[in-house]
A and B are shown apart, each in its own frame.
Chain A
Amino acid sequence: MTNRFRYSAFAATATLALLWPLFAWAHEETGQAAGFVSGLTHPISGLDHVLAMVAVGFWGAQLGAPALWALPVAFPVVMALGGMLGLMGIPLPGVEIGIALSAVALGAMVVGEAKPGLPIAAALVAFFAIFHGHAHGTELPDGASGLYYSIGFVIATGLLHAAGIAFGMVHERPNGPVILRAAGGLVLVGGLYFLWRAIG
Chain B
Amino acid sequence: MISRGLSTTCRAAAACVVVVAALALPASALGHELDPGFLQVTESEPGVYAITFKVPTAGGRRMPLQPMFPVGCSETSPMTSRPSGTGFLERWQISCDGSLLGETIRIGGLERTYTDVMIRVELAEEEPLSYIVQSVDPSVIVGGEGQGSQGALAYAWLGFEHILLGIDHLLFVLGLLLIVQNRWMLVKTVTSFTVAHSITLAIATLGFASAPAAPLNAAIALSILFLGPEIVRVWRGETSLTIQHPWVVAFAFGLLHGFGFASGLTTIGLPSGEIPLALLLFNVGVELGQLVFVVVILALERAFRVLEIYWPRWAEMFPGYAVGSLGAFWTIQRTWMLLGG
A-to-B contact residues, CB < 8 Å:
1-2, 5-7, 9-10, 12-14, 16-17, 26-27
Contacts and interface: CB of A to CB of B under 8 A. Distances in A.
Interface of B: 7, 136, 148-149, 182-183, 186, 292, 295-296, 298-303
A13 B7 contact: no
Contact of B302 (A7, A17, A26, A27): A7
Question: What does DSSP make chain B's interface, helix, strand, loop or mixed?
Answer: helix
Contacts of A9: 295, 298-299, 302
B30 to A, nearest CB: 23
A7 B298 CA distance: 10
Nearest to B301: A6
Contacts of B136: 27
A200 B144 CA distance: 50
Question: What does DSSP make chain A's interface, helix, strand, loop or mixed?
Answer: helix
Contacts of A17: 296
Contacts of A26: 148-149
Contact of A5 (B148, B183, B300, B303): B183
A14 B292 CA distance: 11
19 contacts: A1-B7, A1-B182, A1-B186, A2-B183, A6-B298, A6-B301, A6-B302, A9-B299, A9-B302, A10-B298, A10-B299, A13-B295, A13-B296, A13-B299, A13-B300, A14-B299, A16-B295, A17-B296, A27-B136
Q: Which 3 A-B pairs have the closest CB atoms?
A: A13-B299, A1-B183, A10-B302
Contacts of B303: 10
Contacts of A5: 183
Query: Which of B186, B298, B301, B303 is the most central at the interface, judged by chain A CB atoms within 10 Å of its CB?
Result: B298
Contact of B292 (A1, A6, A7, A16): A16
Contacts, number: 33
A30 to B, nearest CB: 10
B295 A12 contact: yes
Nearest to B148: A26
Contacts of B7: 1
B340 to A, nearest CB: 41
A26 B134 CA distance: 13
A16 B183 CA distance: 21
Contacts of B296: 13, 16-17
A140 B188 CA distance: 53
Contacts of B301: 6
Query: Which of B7, B149, B299, B300 is the most central at the interface, judged by chain A CB atoms within 10 Å of its CB?
Result: B299
A12 B186 contact: no
B165 to A, nearest CB: 15
Contacts of B295: 9, 12-13, 16
B15 to A, nearest CB: 15
Nearest to A20: B292
Query: Which of A2, A5, A10 is the most central at the interface, judged by chain B CB atoms within 10 Å of its CB?
Result: A10
A27 B149 CA distance: 10
A103 to B, nearest CB: 40
A13 B183 contact: no
A1 B299 CA distance: 13
A141 B241 CA distance: 65
A8 to B, nearest CB: 10
A6 B186 CA distance: 12
A154 B149 CA distance: 31
A141 B64 CA distance: 45
A143 to B, nearest CB: 20
A5 B295 CA distance: 11
A6 B11 CA distance: 12
Contacts of B292: 16
Contacts of A6: 298, 301-302
A26 B157 CA distance: 12
A6 B292 CA distance: 15
B110 to A, nearest CB: 16
Nearest to B296: A13
Contacts of B186: 1
Nearest to B294: A9
Contacts of A10: 298-299, 302-303
Query: Which of B136, B182, B183, B186 is the most central at the interface, judged by chain A CB atoms within 10 Å of its CB?
Result: B183
Contacts of A13: 295-296, 298-300
A26 B183 CA distance: 35
Contacts of B149: 26
Contacts of B302: 6-7, 9-10
A16 B297 CA distance: 13
A12 B299 contact: yes
A131 B296 CA distance: 44
